[in-house]
């Protein structure tokens, strides 16, 4: 039997335009909270600098903690299994932000299998995303359904094209390119400075959204989260106007939406643009 290389998952992602040394303690607290939420022993493996996987024993955990405390940050990757795509995984890319490269951010993803939502309900996933966000001075973030994969996988392009509510998150790549732009439209959309301020704040944003089920929740003075319904939806391109709440938010956020500058995966330039604009055209 071959290893599972592609699966439907849930991702909770945050992007921070601050250097690692300024956010390290917040990242450690968020990771500790995530590990408590998913239960003891869920994370059992980590890759070293050469990509070789090792069991996450006390020595390995000490190495992870050292990296998260180091001023320079770096790559941290924790996962639940070594032989296939993980159900639970934590990815972090921390660096010193150079003001002359405004596209760089520190980025992280907390992954959950869809079975987690089936067992605990979408309300618990929403609570977890909000609790993780409370630890982090993010400029943006999102949570929802996402295609989780290892390397190039057959059928990836077709799945992306068929289910517009499914993201294809790659935080390592985004950490070099996203900056303060918004990485698409998701079930939960975390907005911080500068975009929320340029929108006029949470109240002004709320006034522009009228689809039933859409909520705007303030998270302090400079941050908010827009949630599109009680549960994430994959959508279906067979519908004439799939995911109307997603389309409405996309129109509001269009000036700030991220455009991928590099062609990756199986997409042609035209297909990539069509996918990025799937809630706009």
Distances (CA, A) of 64 to 108, 175, 254: 15, 19, 38
Task: Measure the CA–CA gap between 177 and 186, rounded to whole angstroms.
Answer: 19
Q: For residue range 77-126, what is the model confidence (pLDDT) as tens digits?
A: 999 888 767 789 999 999 999 989 889 999 999 999 999 999 999 999 99
Report the percentage of the chain scoring pLDDT > 90. 64
User: What's the predicted TM-score (pTM) here?
Assistant: 0.93
Residue 125 near residue 5, CB atoms below 8 Å: no
Task: Measure the CA–CA gap between 134 and 100, rounded to whole angstroms.
Answer: 29
If you average pLDDT over every residue of the chain, what do you get?
89
Say whether 119 sits in a helix, a strand or coil: helix
CB within 8 A of 127, min separation 6: which ones?
none
| Beta-bridge partners for 108 | 14, 92
Instruction: Write down the pLDDT at residue 134.
Output: 95
Residues in the chain: 281
> CA torsion angle for 123, 279, 211, 110 (degrees, to 10)?
20
Residue 157 near residue 267, CB atoms below 8 Å: yes
Task: Measure the CA–CA gap between 281 and 277, rounded to whole angstroms.
Answer: 6
Residue 167 near residue 11, CB atoms below 8 Å: yes
CB within 8 A of 268, min separation 6: which ones?
none
Instruction: Write down the pLDDT at residue 1.
Output: 37
Q: For residue range 161-192, what is the model confidence (pLDDT) as tens digits?
A: 788 998 888 899 899 999 999 999 999 999 99
Instruction: Write down the pLDDT at residue 105.
Output: 97
Distances (CA, A) of 178 to 14, 47, 67, 103, 262: 11, 25, 23, 5, 12
Phi–psi pair at 217, nearest 5 degrees: -115, 125
Residue 176 near residue 264, CB atoms below 8 Å: no
* Res 16 pLDDT > 70: yes
The token pair at 97 is: 């932000």
> CA torsion angle for 202, 261, 85, 77 (degrees, to 10)?
-70
* Res 72 pLDDT > 80: no
């Amino acid at each position: 039997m071959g290893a599972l290389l592609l699966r439907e998952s849930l991702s909770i992602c945050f992007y921070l335009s601050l250097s690692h040394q300024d956010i390290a303690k917040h990242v450690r607290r968020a990771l500790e909270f995530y590990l408590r939420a998913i239960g003891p022993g869920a994370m059992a493996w980590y890759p070293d600098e050469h990509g070789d996987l090792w069991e996450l024993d006390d020595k390995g955990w000490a190495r992870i903690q050292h990296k998260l405390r180091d001023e320079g940050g770096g790559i941290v990757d924790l996962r639940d299994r070594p032989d296939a795509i993980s159900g639970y995984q934590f990815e972090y890319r921390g660096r010193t932000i150079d003001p002359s490269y405004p596209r760089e951010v520190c980025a992280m993803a907390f992954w959950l299998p869809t079975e987690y939502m089936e067992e605990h309900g979408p309300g618990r996933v929403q609570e977890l995303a909000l609790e993780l966000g409370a630890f982090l001075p993010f400029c943006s973030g999102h949570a929802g359904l996402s295609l989780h994969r290892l390397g190039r996988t057959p059928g990836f392009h077709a799945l992306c094209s068929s289910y517009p509510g499914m993201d294809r998150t790659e935080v390592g790549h985004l950490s070099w390119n996203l900056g303060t732009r918004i990485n698409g439209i998701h079930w939960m959309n975390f907005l911080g400075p500068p975009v929320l301020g340029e929108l006029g704040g949470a109240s002004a944003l709320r006034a522009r959204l009228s689809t039933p089920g859409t909520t705007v929740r303030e998270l302090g003075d400079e941050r908010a989260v827009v949630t599109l319904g009680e549960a994430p939806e994959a959508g279906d391109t067979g519908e004439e106007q799939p995911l109307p709440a997603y389309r409405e938010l996309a129109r509001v956020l269009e000036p700030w939406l991220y455009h991928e500058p590099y062609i990756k995966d199986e997409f042609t330039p035209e297909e990539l643009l069509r996918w990025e604009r799937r809630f706009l055209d």
